[in-house]
Amino acid sequence: MSRVFLDYAAITPIDKKVAQEMEKAQKFWANPSSLHQEGEIAKRVLEEARIKIARILHCKANEIFFTSGGTESLNLAIFGVVFKYKKSNSKIPHIITSTIEHPAVLEPIKHLLKNKEVEVSFISPNEKGLISPESIKKEIKENTVLVVIQHGNNEIGTIQPIRKIKEVIENFKLKIENSSRAYLLVDACQSVLYENISLESLGADLLVLDGIKMYGPRGVGILAVRHSVPIESIVFGGGQEGGLRSGTENVPGAVGLAKALEIATEMREKESARLTKLRDYAIAKILKPARLASESVAGGEISQLSLNGGLENRLPNNINICLSHFAKASRDESNKLDSEFLVIKLDTLGFAVSAASACHTLSLENGSYVIESLGNKNCGSSSLRITLGRSTKKSDLDKFISALKKIVHR
Amino acid sequence: MSRVFLDYAAITPIDKKVAQEMEKAQKFWANPSSLHQEGEIAKRVLEEARIKIARILHCKANEIFFTSGGTESLNLAIFGVVFKYKKSNSKIPHIITSTIEHPAVLEPIKHLLKNKEVEVSFISPNEKGLISPESIKKEIKENTVLVVIQHGNNEIGTIQPIRKIKEVIENFKLKIENSSRAYLLVDACQSVLYENISLESLGADLLVLDGIKMYGPRGVGILAVRHSVPIESIVFGGGQEGGLRSGTENVPGAVGLAKALEIATEMREKESARLTKLRDYAIAKILKPARLASESVAGGEISQLSLNGGLENRLPNNINICLSHFAKASRDESNKLDSEFLVIKLDTLGFAVSAASACHTLSLENGSYVIESLGNKNCGSSSLRITLGRSTKKSDLDKFISALKKIVHR
Distances (CA, A) of A349 to A320, B27, B34: 19, 21, 16
More confident residue, A253 or B408: A253
Q: What is the pLDDT of residue B357?
A: 65
> Closest approach of chain A CAs to the CA of B10, in angstroms?
6
CA B319 – CA B400 distance, rounded (Å) = 12
CA dihedral A260, A261, A264, A268 (to 10 degrees): 180
Size (chain B), residues: 410
Does B389 contact A at CB distance below 8 Å? no
Is A44 strand, coil or helix?
helix
DSSP class of A160:
P
- May I ask the CATH architecture of the domain B16-263? 3-Layer(aba) Sandwich (3.40)
| Per-residue pLDDT band at A139 (split at 50, 70, 90) | very high
Higher pLDDT, A291 or B271: B271
Range with top average pLDDT, A289-293, A306-310, A328-332, B314-318: B314-318
- Could you write out the three-class secondary structure of B344-396? HHHHHCCEECECCCCHHHHHHHHCCHHHHHCCCHHHHHCEEEEECCCCCCHHH
d(C-alpha B360, C-alpha B356), whole Å: 6
Do residue B75 and residue A352 have CB atoms under 8 angstroms apart? no
Q: SS3 for B306?
A: strand
State the span(s) of chain A assigned CATH 3.40.640.10.
Answer: 16-263
Whether residues B246 and A102 touch (CB distance < 8 A) is answered with: no
Amino acid at residue number B263: I
- Give A314's strand partners: A158
Residue A18: its H or E element = helix A16-25
A38, exposed or middle or buried, with CB in 10 Å at 0-12, 13-18, 19+? buried
The 8-class DSSP code of residue A362 comes to: G
Answer with the residue of higher pLDDT: A368 or A269: A269
Name residue B103's amino acid.
P
Q: Which of A20, A28, A112, A248 to mutate to test the interface with B (most CBs of B within 10 A)?
A: A248
Q: Is the dihedral of CA B289, B295, B299, B302 positive or negative?
A: positive
Q: Name the residue in chain A with its Cα closest to that of B111.
A: A236
User: Which one, of B216, B215, B197, B217, lies nearest residue B207 by Cα?
Assistant: B197
**Segments of chain B assigned to CATH 3.90.1150.10:** 4-11+268-408
| Sequence-distant (≥ 6) Cβ neighbours of residue A65 within 8 angstroms | A73, A76, A222, A223, A224, A225, A241, A242, A244, A245
DSSP class of residue B231 equals -
Contact list in A for residue B11 (CB cut-off 8 A) is: 29-31, 34, 248
Q: Is A361 in CB contact (< 8 Å) with chain B?
A: yes
Q: Does A227 touch chain B (CB under 8 A)?
A: no
Q: What per-residue confidence (pLDDT) applies to B401?
A: 95
pLDDT at A340: 86
ipTM score of complex: 0.94
Q: Where in A68-215 does DSSP place strands (E)?
A: 94-98, 119-123, 144-150, 183-187, 206-210
Compute the residue count for chain A: 410
Residues of A with Cβ-Cβ distance to B35 under 8 angstroms: 340, 343-344, 347, 354-355, 361, 364
Using pLDDT thresholds of 50, 70 and 90, give the confidence band for residue A377.
confident
Q: Is A359 a catalytic residue?
A: yes
Cβ atoms of B231 and B67 within 8 Å: the answer is: no
CA–CA distance, B380 with A361 (Å, rounded to integer) = 53
Task: Report yes or no: A220 and A251 within 8 Å, Cβ to Cβ.
Answer: no
Chain A: give the shortest CA distance to residue B175, in Å.
35
Inter-chain residue contact A34 with B352, CB threshold 8 Å: yes
Mutate to test the interface with A, among B2, B43, B68 (most CBs of A within 10 A): B68
Report B:85-114 residues touching A (Cβ under 8 A). Answer: 102-104, 107-108, 110-111
State in Å, rounded, how far the first CA of chain B is from the last one. Answer: 22
Check if A371 contacts B (Cβ < 8 Å). no
Phi, psi for B209 (deg, rounded to 5): -130, 155
Q: Which residues have a Cβ under 8 Å from the Cβ of B42 and sit 6 or more positions away?
A: B28, B29, B30, B31, B32, B34, B249, B251
| Contact present, A67 and A222 (Cβ < 8 Å) | yes
Best mutation target among B4, B7, B20, B35 (most A Cβ atoms within 10 Å) is: B35
Residue A264 has pLDDT above 80, yes or no: yes
Which H helix or E strand runs over B406?
helix B394-408
Parts of chain B with a pLDDT under 70: 1, 178-180, 288-304, 326-337, 357-366, 410
User: Which among A116, A121, A123, A115 is positioned nearest to A145, based on CA atoms?
Assistant: A121
Which residues of chain A does B38 touch, with a Cβ-Cβ cutoff of 8 Å?
3, 5, 7, 352
Q: Which pLDDT band, with edges at 50, 70 and 90, does A116 fall under? A: very high
Q: Determine the pLDDT at residue A335.
A: 46
Contacts across the A-B interface (CB distance below 8 Å)? 259
d(CA A114, CA B87): 12
| Catalytically annotated residues of B | 359
For chain A, what percent of residues have pLDDT higher than 90? 80
pLDDT attached to residue A147: 98
Asked if the C-beta of A208 comes within 8 angstroms of chain B's C-beta atoms, the answer is no
More confident residue, A252 or B335: A252
Cβ-proximal residues to A44 (8 Å cutoff; 6+ apart), any chain = none
- Chain B positions in Cβ-Cβ contact with residue A354 (cut-off 8 Å): 34-36
Cβ–Cβ contact B210 with A under 8 A: yes
Cβ–Cβ of B218/A251 closer than 8 Å?
yes
Name beta bridge partners: B7: B387
**Beta bridge partners of residue B207, listed in sequence order:** B186, B224
* Helix B37-57 × helix B251-287 angle, to 10°: 30
Cβ contact B104–A238 (<8 Å): yes
d(CA A371, CA A320): 9
Cβ distance of A71 and B30 shorter than 8 Å: no
A284: closest CA among A256, A305, A254, A258? Answer: A305
- Do residue A361 and residue B35 have CB atoms under 8 angstroms apart? yes
Q: Which residues of B touch A107 (CB under 8 A)?
A: 236-237, 239, 246
Query: pLDDT (tens digit, 9 = 90+) per residue, B79-89?
Result: 999 999 999 99
User: CB under 8 Å to A21, separation ≥6 — which residues?
Assistant: A255, A256, A259
Cβ–Cβ under 8 Å, residues B154 and B198: no
Measured distance CA(B10)–CA(B179) in Å, rounded = 38
Evaluate whether B173 touches B219 at the Cβ level (below 8 Å).
no
Instruction: Give the separation between CA B75 and CA B64, rounded to whole angstroms.
Output: 16
State the pLDDT at residue B267: 98
Query: pLDDT, tens digit, for every residue of A149-192?
Result: 999 999 999 999 999 999 999 999 988 876 668 999 999 999 99
What SS3 class is residue B66? strand
Chain segment A337-366, per-residue pLDDT in tens: 688 889 999 999 999 999 876 655 545 556
Question: Cα angle vertex B218, ends B268, A43, to 5°?
Answer: 120
Please indicate if any CB of chain B lies within 8 Å of the CB of A352.
yes
Give B113-177 as a 3 state SS string. HHCCCCEEEEECCCCCCCCCHHHHHHHCCCCEEEEEEECECCCCCEECCHHHHHHHHHHHHHHCC
**Residue A298 pLDDT grade (very low, low, confident, very high; cuts 50, 70, 90):** very low
Pairing of strands B221-225, B206-210: antiparallel
Q: Is B385 on the interface with A (CB under 8 A)?
A: no
Residues A59, A189, A322, A359: which is the catalytic one?
A: A359
Distances (CA, A) of A353 to A320, A404, B91, B248, B304: 10, 11, 50, 17, 70
**DSSP notation for A181-244:** --EEEEE-TTTTTTS---HHHHT-SEEEEEGGGTT--TT-EEEEE-TTS----SS-SS-TGGGT
Which of left, alpha, beta for B29 (phi over 0: left; psi -120 to 50: alpha)? alpha
pLDDT for position B333: 46
A383 contact B CB<8A: no
Give me the residues paired with residue A123 across strands.
A98
- Residue numbers in A near B36 (CB within 8 A): 7, 343-344, 346-347, 351-354
Subunit contact A5:B240, Cβ cutoff 8 A = no
Give the per-residue pLDDT at A367: 82
Question: What CATH code is assigned to B4-11+268-408?
Answer: 3.90.1150.10
Contact (CB<8Å) A238/B33: no
